[in-house]
Structure 1
Amino acid sequence: MTHPIPFPAGLPAHSLDHWLSPELARISPPNAPSRLRQLADAQVTLAAGWSSAIAGGPVLALAGAFFSVTTGIPAAVLVLGPLGAALLVLGLASWRRVRATLPNTDRLLISRGPGSARGGIAMVSVLAVALGGILSMYLPSVTAKGNGAATTLVGSFVLILALLVACIVVPSTVMGRARQSFRLRVQANPELRSAVEQDLAVWRDPYGNAGYGPL
């Protein structure tokens, strides 16, 4: 005697909306693997890298303007200004493309930075205190020299902090919201949702019987 199949052969047991449910994510262990989490984490690793470019571009342009003003030499702004603008444009274009398409999960993507905004802020704070302590030892002698040397030193310190924020805090903030942001994009972007639904239809766990979600 044959038993009835609970869902049509070849179709997933649950819909994408089921796996996207925030309630399902809340009751699931945060470290439990799933295909949706794999997609979200891979996508955000790429997006976090481009977010650094978006934030770092203006910092480079500002650094060029600062050093041109303090030194009286326009070469800095002429070089760093266009470079920062190009980095910003490239970052924005790549950021939008990455967030609108499914990532290639066959490639191993590793992130060495903090995975949350709190972790990024803590790391930058420690680096800022260490760097500030070193620079403070030179500040009295630099101030005694005059000619705006102290302004250059303090300005350089501020620019370094801005670069640390762009390279650490910004991407770590993006990383910390990986799964929530992915859920919102799938729900709001029809093309991305269609790609995920196609992946849901064909994906099978290669190592066991894990489900497609939760997210």
Structure 2
Amino acid sequence: MTVPYPAPLEQPSHSLDHWLDPELARLSPPNAPSRLRQLADAQGTVAAGWSSAIATGPLLILGGAFTTVMTGNPVAALVLGVLGAGLLALGLLLWKRTRSALPNTSRTLVSRGPGSARGGMIMAAVLAVLLGGILAAVAPGIASRGIGTVAGLTGAYVLFVLLLVACIVIPSAVLGRARDSFRRRAQSGQPLRAALEADLATWRDPVGNASYGPL
């Protein structure tokens, strides 16, 4: 009795370096789908989230210190300091892990924010100007309450602007550079390169004849 063996996978028609070629990417419409673009965009979306955590951690520490200075209560600095340090450490750990491994593309990841640094800066600037305009309109009444109130609101506004940077500008910049960053790390060596080589050898388009790249 003959035992059937599964047919070996067909060897990829092009190498990974071929698909990573920036010139090939320039010749392809940026919205044309490919496996490499799917991986880079998914990884960039997750990395953008962790980049926001990394930026928000020190901001929590700063916010706690500011609150303690304004109120004289050290609890705020202690609690927010611990939370900020923990968020920073977790963000750095998972940022590094995310960028060194291939993402799970079986789930669709959607980003609601801007997809470029410029878009993020415009959005953050609009929100900052709107709040600044509101504060400017009530400035005379605020000033009459004393220097402490003015300093408190000014510090709170600065913290709000920094929060916009942490939650909008930085993730948007990461998203905007996701494909270029993915290419650079894939070309530079392990461990992302090894994961991509293994994926290239086994991946086949499940619904058609799409190619592995370009990026």
Quick check: TM above 0.5? yes
Aligned residue type for 1:112: R
- Describe the superposition over 1:10-49 as per-residue Cα deviations: whole angstroms up to 9, x where unpaired: 1000000000000100111011000000000000110000
Kept in 2: contact 1:102–1:195 (CA 8 A)? yes
Q: Does 1:132 align with 2:156?
A: no
Amino acid across the alignment from 1:167: C
Match of 1:116 in 2: 116
1:74 match? 74
Q: Does the 8 Å CA contact 2:64/2:78 hold for their aligned counterparts?
A: yes
1:96-137 CA-partner distances (Å, limit 9, x unpaired): 000000000001111000000000000001101111111122
Aligned partner of 1:92 in structure 2 is 92
Q: What SS does the corresponding residue of 2:191 show, helix, strand or coil?
A: helix
Counterpart-to-counterpart distance in 1, 2:152 and 2:79: 19
- Between stretches 136-145 and 12-21, larger displacement belongs to 136-145
Q: Which runs of 5+ in 2 are unaligned?
A: 1-7
For 2:100 and 2:138, the matched residues in 1 are separated by 48
Cα distance in 2 between the residues matched to 1:95 and 1:25: 26
Matched, 1:33 2:33: yes
Query: Matched residue of 1:109: which SS?
Result: coil
Matched with 1:4 is none
> Are 2:16 and 2:197, in contact at CA under 8 Å, matched by a contact in 1?
yes
Identical residues among aligned pairs (%): 66
User: What is the one-letter code of the residue matched to 2:128?
Assistant: A
Alignment RMSD, CA only?
1.2
TM-score (norm 2): 0.94
Task: Look up the match of 1:153.
Answer: 153
1:184 maps to what in 2? Answer: 184
Contact kept in structure 1, 2:9 and 2:202, CA below 8 Å: no
Off by >2 Å, runs of 4+ in structure 1:
none
The whole-number CA distance in structure 1 between the counterparts of 2:60 and 2:160 is 10
Aligned residues: 208
> C-alpha separation between the residues in 1 aligned to 2:117 and 2:144?
39
The equivalent of 2:13 in structure 1 is 13
Give the distance between the partners of 2:59 and 2:135, measured in 1 at CA: 20
- Residue 70 of structure 1 aligns to a residue whose secondary structure is helix
3-state SS of the aligned residue for 1:171? helix
Deviations 1:21-78 (A, max 9, x none): 0010011101100000000000011000000000000111001101110111111101
One-letter amino acid of the structure 1 residue matched with residue 111 of structure 2: S
Shift in Å, 1:190: 1.6
- Normalised by the length of structure 1, the TM-score is 0.94
